[in-house]
Amino acid sequence: MNPEKAWLYFDHCASTPPHPDVVRTLAEVMQRHYGNPSSLHRAGLDADRLIRQARELLGKLFEVEADEWIFTSGGTESNQLAIKGAARANRSKGSHLITSVTEHASVLEAFLQLEREGFEVTYLPVDSIGRISVEQLRDAMKPGTILVSLMQVNNETGAVQPIAEAGSLLRGCPDTLFHVDGVQSIGKLPVRLREWGIDLFSGSAHKLRGPKGSGFLYVRGGVRLEPLLGGGEQESGFRPGTQNVPGIVASAKAVRLSMESREERARKLGGLRSRLLDRIALLPELEVNGDSAPDSPYQAPHVLNFSYAGMKPEVLVHALEEAGMLVSTKSACSSKDDKPSGVLLAMGYPRHRAAAGIRVSFGDEHGPEDIDRLADALAEAVRRLKPLERNGR
């Protein structure tokens, strides 16, 4: 049986089915332009021109300069390079950094590492719907704060951070760089790099129907970064190593496709989310984590997180898989350990609820009937599992 037909894939926050046109671009460029973009001959020159074109496309889509984009191996590298690179390169200006408690592991890990190097890090708390407050950010700022890093959309709950407001606060602090992890937001939410005063912005292609192993990082002109790797001058020296030419071209295409249809997609996915919320409301066993208001501006349209407290989330995941529905427990990057979700704990949920989070995330291929099938399967799974609920929930 063809697995593509066998399941409904509700794990878009982890990765997305690639767009057929993107796959074609990837294959054709890989086949035809294998030259090393750093080579002096024509094959190299051609590969280099394709990268240039990809950069210009990103520049145009985000209304910034082409040269302000560098290509990486993915979201994790973009985040690590932005955070560690900016902190280390600007140490002479200060050693205080700010982020939030609900960031992606690739961000939190970078800050932990910087703490070991002697940086001081403030972790902003979040409220019950997963948002930081700009007032708390303002209070955390001090002379010597050289970097603030926030995600635009949380990868577990879909909570949307007040990026524009944080950006205007930081405008008054020229020595503080502002990094935004946009891995989950591109193609779903508006992104306004210049207007919001963003200095560094991370993206990942496979979260928006592009290829894996391809990421990109906006580095505002004039911002200094210490490279993570050594041994080459590629990507303005920020990111040595032979560029992934087919990945870069295909990523640029994926970004274009995702951004050109963003508003329509956001509307459609928001509708699907409301539909699922309505159905979950009929199941008293399930509790929605985050803002459960339909069309909430504080919530990305493509993610819904809920808990079946008293039930190990893996059990529900497997029960749904039996019915052909693929969903996820917390984030894919940390879903194999047993601990409660740090994000849900930070939002103030009790331990048993935070340990039972289920994430449903959807995309372009889904329609209302798919949501209905998921809801039916959920209702059936809950009915079957109810006798097995642990006491003391």
Instruction: Exactly one of 27, 45, 293, 333 is catalytic; name it.
Output: 333
Show the tokens assigned to 146. Answer: 């050289």
Angle 307-309-311 (CA atoms, 0-180°, nearest 5)?
100
> What is the nearest approach in angstroms of other proteins to the Cβ of residue 39?
14
Residue 252 binds other proteins, judged by CB under 8 A: yes
Residue 29 binds other proteins, judged by CB under 8 A: yes
Q: Which is nearer to other proteins, 32 or 386 (CB)?
A: 32
Interface residue with other proteins among 33, 55, 239, 359 (CB under 8 A) is 33
Window of 25-33, 109-117, 167-175, 314-322 that interacts with other proteins by CB under 8 A: 25-33
Residue 39 binds other proteins, judged by CB under 8 A: no
Residue 55 binds other proteins, judged by CB under 8 A: no
> What is the nearest approach in angstroms of other proteins to the Cβ of residue 208?
15
Q: Which is nearer to other proteins, 29 or 375 (CB)?
A: 29
Residue 28 binds other proteins, judged by CB under 8 A: yes
Residue 260 binds other proteins, judged by CB under 8 A: no
Residue 127 binds other proteins, judged by CB under 8 A: no
Look up residue 185 and give its DSSP letter. T
Helix (H/G/I), strand (E/B), else coil: 212? coil
Q: Which is nearer to other proteins, 211 or 290 (CB)?
A: 211
Q: Which DSSP string corresponds to 56-75?
A: HHHHHHHTS-GGGEEEESSH
Q: Which DSSP string corresponds to 301-358?
A: TTEEEEE-TTS-HHHHHHHHHHTTEE-EES-GGGTTS-SPPHHHHHTT--HHHHTTEE
> What is the nearest approach in angstroms of other proteins to the Cβ of residue 62?
15
Cα–Cα distance for residue pair 121/105, rounded to 1 Å: 15
Q: In what order do the strands lie in the sheet with 287-289?
A: 287-289, 303-307, 357-361, 328-329
Q: Which is nearer to other proteins, 42 or 116 (CB)?
A: 42
Residue 265 binds other proteins, judged by CB under 8 A: no
Residue 209 binds other proteins, judged by CB under 8 A: no
Residues comprising the chain, all counted: 393
Residue 25 binds other proteins, judged by CB under 8 A: yes
Residue 249 binds other proteins, judged by CB under 8 A: yes
Q: Which is nearer to other proteins, 54 or 208 (CB)?
A: 54
> What is the nearest approach in angstroms of other proteins to the Cβ of residue 269?
25
Interface residue with other proteins among 46, 127, 165, 226 (CB under 8 A) is 46
Q: Which is nearer to other proteins, 216 or 349 (CB)?
A: 216
H/E run at residue 217 = strand 215-219
Cα–Cα distance for residue pair 252/59, rounded to 1 Å: 10
Cα–Cα distance for residue pair 106/168, rounded to 1 Å: 25
Window of 137-145, 155-163, 247-255, 367-375 that interacts with other proteins by CB under 8 A: 247-255
Cα–Cα distance for residue pair 154/341, rounded to 1 Å: 13
Q: What is the CA radius of gyration of the chain?
A: 21
Cα–Cα distance for residue pair 358/303, rounded to 1 Å: 10
Interface residue with other proteins among 50, 107, 219, 316 (CB under 8 A) is 50
Residue 259 binds other proteins, judged by CB under 8 A: no
Please say if 333 is a catalytic residue: yes
Residue 53 binds other proteins, judged by CB under 8 A: yes
> What is the nearest approach in angstroms of other proteins to the Cβ of residue 352?
49
Burial per residue of 128-164, b for 16 or more beta-carbon CB atoms within 10 angstroms, e otherwise: ebbbbebebbeebbeeebbbbbbbbbbbbbbbbbbbb
Look up residue 237 and give its DSSP letter. G
Residues involved in catalysis:
333
Chain residues binding other proteins by CB under 8 A are: 21, 25, 28-29, 32-33, 45-46, 49-50, 53-54, 57, 249, 252-253, 256
